[in-house]
Structures are given as structure tokens and as C-alpha cells.
Amino acid sequence: MPKHIFVTGGVVSSLGKGLTAASVALLLERRGYRVRLQKLDPYLNVDPGTMSPYQHGEVYVTVDGAETDLDLGHYERFTGVPCTRASNYTTGRIYSSVIRREREGGYLGRTVQVIPHITDEIKQALRAFDNEDVDIVITEIGGTVGDIESLPFLEAIRQFRQEIGRNNGLFMHITLVPYIRAAKEMKTKPSQQSVGVLRSIGIFPDMLICRCEQHMSNEHKDKLALFCNVDRKLVIEEKDVDHSIYEVPLELARQELDVYCLEMLNLHVNRIKIRDWETMVETLLHPKGGEIEIAVVGKYISLQDSYKSIYEALTHGGIANDVKVNIRMIESEDIEIKGPAALLSGVQGILVPGGFGDRGIEGKIAAIKYARENKIPFFGICLGMQCAVMEFARNVCGLTDANSQEFAPAAAHQVIHLMEEQKTVADKGGTMRLGAYPCVLKKDTHAAKVYGVREISERHRHRFEFNNAYREQMQAAGMCISGVSPDEKLVEIVEITDHPWFTACQFHPEFQSTPLQAHPLFKAFVAAAKKK
């Protein structure tokens, strides 16, 4: 049976619980343990797939096609193990399986209640990795302690730890130690109170991770240890990092957080092997190749989390090329007002990410036209590829009303249209073409060169596709179809040969990029931008 670490958060949200959990996982992995990460989210959507990025940030897609919380992106980028459907449960998902079972007669004769039925279902989720070769499962509870919504999750982890015993599970509480500028003082009271709330529901945290802006004094740590009943050495400081989230694990390792976790779980403390990560952080913080600027033209730009994996993957491309990548975030609607040159001039690369709905589409198309005509490296992803196809159809093939069925169902030239398999789909949740599918690369294309192999597997999240009726016409005009599904029916990658770097894909490569191994397309895109 695996050992468990439960991660809760106190005082406020946005403490970076996901990053901390991912960092702990990395350190334990680097001490030779097989780790899995999991997130429990206390909202009623069955998954975040139907939520706007403004509500929730990016929707992260796993290999097995689950639409999940963006923290899973951190989990995968920090550790070597892919997440699956078992890595993210929401209240909605837990309730829907209990209610389904009730309708099937699974509880005949009984009253179905939050305790024990919902909590039992949550405990079942905690056992999702029992049959795999796993040493430690780290489970992050979304939300903040004290929220009504998270109570069943907290009760479930309380029971679970009671059942598995003290040496097999530990509670890690991440909390805020704010600095009050006017008083020039750090305050431990909010943390004491949030631990108080946890204790009132029967959870006694074993360690505290204190998020803070400034270093904590010994006095603050003593105080927290005393008032929160936590060993002094288990009051760990997690100060804001100066430059990159990838520094977090190194900071935590310096304080031996991983060692304490292993000791408390009665696991042997093997030597840590983390040299490659340190080298990567060193390259990231002090690149030798200077700086470049890449524009990301999207629709949810004002929220930093909307394109999380894209921004991270660009950073990875920078690490691989020894350059610092600065990102110019551009709202595509602004391009509609001010024109592309006003907002895009001076950048070395332009990326148009995925998205839904017609707001800002014309701005994206204008940005792509600007990149194509001015020979600026261009990278289109999902909707970004669909827009690139529309732009090419309109401005190179002369199909002036070319559009996507998603935005203009009456357009004469629907160069992007609904996939056949989607035509009978009515439900919105979890019904897109989701998860990893194979793609075959055409010999001697840019894509084949970049990947260095002929068959790849990439993650998808879309309903619309390149309309095959236009394949010949587009190819004749200079658009190369360099990647297709194995049955050749679905266009997965297009590129323009007569351009320094113009590649667009139907899938989401950003989900498979890590700081230690940048995704080949991101690496090549940043290299092209650097060259420019």
C-alpha cells in the first residue's frame, strides 16, 4: 500500500499549493521513490472542461483525455509521471457517481448521506493508485480550510489517515504568513487560526509550509511551532521566489522538507539526485544567449493562468536554447482596433493559442497574416491552427469568406468544419476529441525534422477540424500538410514551406513540455525566433 501526504491550504487561496505539492513530489522522486499526485477540487462541475478560463484558468488535458485542473500541469512538468483521470476528482464527479449508484439500486434500503457515502467515495478516490507500483501518493485538497465546500474532503482525509495510521500518512498545511508593511511586521495569527479550524475538524497538521514575502525570523517559527503543535523543524519557510517557479523545489530541499517527510513516513532517506534540475534552473536564470520577445495573441490574456502551459512551454523552449523568452501578451480584440503592426512590431515570434467562440477571431487572423507576410516565426495551436488555415484560404487561395463552421455556420467556404464524430454529440461536458492520439509525419517536412521521428502522439481538445475538401487547393497554393492521423483523414499539422518558421498544429503540444525536456516544436520555434 502506498504512503500518503495530504496537502491542505489555509488563510487564502492562490498560495501555490499545486506548485508546492509538485515540488515535494519531485524531491521524493529524486530520492528514489515512485510518486503519484492527485488533486481533489471542491466545486460541483464534474470537471473544469465546461468552465471559462476566466473562472478557472487553463483546462489541462491528460493523456487519457481527462479535462482537469491546471495544477496537474505543474505535477507533470515537475515529475516524471503522467497524470490520468485518477489524478483529479471534483465534488461533482464524486456526487455523480454516488447518485448514479443510488439510481442503479446500489444502496437499496439505505439513506444515502454525505457521511458515510460521499466520504467513502472520496476515500475510494484516494485509493486510486493502490494497484500500481507507487510508494507515495500526494493529494492536494483544493480550496481553503474553512470553506463549506471542502468539508467532506477534509473529513475523508481525516478518516483515511486514521485508518492507515500515523506512519503511513501525513498532513502538510500550506499557509500564509503575511507581512504588514505599515507595521513592518510579519503576522502568524492567520496561520494559527487556520490550523485552529483544521484541528476543530480533527486534523492536526504534521508540518506547516509558510508562504511569505520576507524571510521568517526564528521567533516567528518558534511561535508557530508552539501555538500550532508542530515540531519546530517542521515549520518550513516557502518565501516567494525571485525569478522562477522551478526554484521552489531547490528552496524546499535546502530546508530538507523531503527528508522530514520520509522520516515521518518511516521511509529510508536515500541520497538525492537533483543535479540536472539545478543546472536547468541555472540556465533559466542566467541564459547566455540574450533575450527574445514572443507575442501570444489570445482572448483570455488578462488572466495569467489562462495560457499557463503555453507560457511554461515557451520558457522551456528558452531553456533549451539558452535564451530568456519574454512574452508580450496581446488581447486579439486590440489587434482588431489598432491593427497588427501597432501591437506586434519588434517581436521575434508570434503564437496564437487555442480557444473557443468567435470573440477576437479576426484579430488572430490579422496577427497570422502579419506573421506570414513579414516572415516572422509563427506557431499556431488548435484554434491557432484553424485560424492559420482560414487566413491562408482567404488571403492566399482567394476564398474571401473562408471561415470556420464554429463562427460562421452559413459561410460558403467552411475550411474548418465540425468533425464527423461530433455531429451526433449533444452534451457539452467531456465530449470533445480529447486526449492523446497518434499522428504520422510526412517525410522531409519541417515537422518531421523537428521531431526526428515519423510517428508522434499528442494531446487534443477540439470539435472542429480542417475540411478535407480544401486539402488540394491549399496544398497547391503552398500550404504543406505535414502531419495527419494514421488513417490520413485528419489534418494534424500544417506548415508553410516558403517561410522561416510557420507551423500550426491541431493538438496541444504545450501539455507535453517540461523544463528538463522542452517540447520539440517549442524548442524549434524559440530557436527560429532567436535566429530572427
Residues near ligand GLN, by CB under 6 A: 354-356, 382-383, 386, 406, 461-464
Beta bridge partners of 38: 139
Local structure of residue 136 (DSSP, 8 states): E
Reported as type and span, the H/E element at residue 164 is: helix 151-164
> Min. distance of Cβ 311 from ligand GLN in angstroms?
16
- Rank residues 54 and 179 by Cβ distance to ligand GLN and give the closer one: 54
- Rank residues 2 and 53 by Cβ distance to ligand GLN and give the closer one: 53
> Distance between CA atoms of 134 and 25, rounded to whole angstroms?
12
Q: Max alpha carbon distance in the chain (Å)?
A: 75
Amino acid at residue number 80: G
> Min. distance of Cβ 48 from ligand GLN in angstroms?
14
- Rounded-to-10 torsion of CA 331, 333, 334, 335: 100
Cβ neighbors of 14 (< 8 A, separation 6 or more) are none
Residue nearest to ligand GLN (CB): 354
- Rank residues 152 and 354 by Cβ distance to ligand GLN and give the closer one: 354
> Min. distance of Cβ 111 from ligand GLN in angstroms?
43
Question: What sign has the CA pseudo-torsion 249, 254, 260, 262?
Answer: positive
> Min. distance of Cβ 299 from ligand GLN in angstroms?
10
Cα 248 off chain centre by: 17
- Rank residues 245 and 329 by Cβ distance to ligand GLN and give the closer one: 329
> Min. distance of Cβ 300 from ligand GLN in angstroms?
12
Alpha-carbon separation of residue 224 from 179, 202, 278, 529 (angstroms): 15, 19, 31, 49
- Per-residue cell: 247: 526554484
Instruction: Report the relative pairing of strands 35-41 and 169-176 from DSSP bridges.
Output: unpaired
Identify the residue whose cell numbers are 515519423: 454
> Min. distance of Cβ 60 from ligand GLN in angstroms?
12
Please give the positions annotated as active site.
382, 508, 510
- What's phi and psi for 439, nearest 5 deg? -145, 135
Kindly provide the b/e burial profile for residues 379-399, where b requires at least 16 CB atoms within 10 angstroms of the residue's own CB: bbbbbbbbbbbbbbbbbbbeb
Closest by CA position to 160, among listed 345, 47, 44, 4: 4
- Per-residue cell: 454: 515519423
- Rank residues 95 and 356 by Cβ distance to ligand GLN and give the closer one: 356
- Rank residues 11 and 330 by Cβ distance to ligand GLN and give the closer one: 330
Kindly provide the b/e burial profile for residues 284-296, where b requires at least 16 CB atoms within 10 angstroms of the residue's own CB: beebeeeebebbb
- Rank residues 17 and 461 by Cβ distance to ligand GLN and give the closer one: 461
**Length of the chain, in residues:** 532
> Min. distance of Cβ 462 from ligand GLN in angstroms?
3
Cα 67 off chain centre by: 10
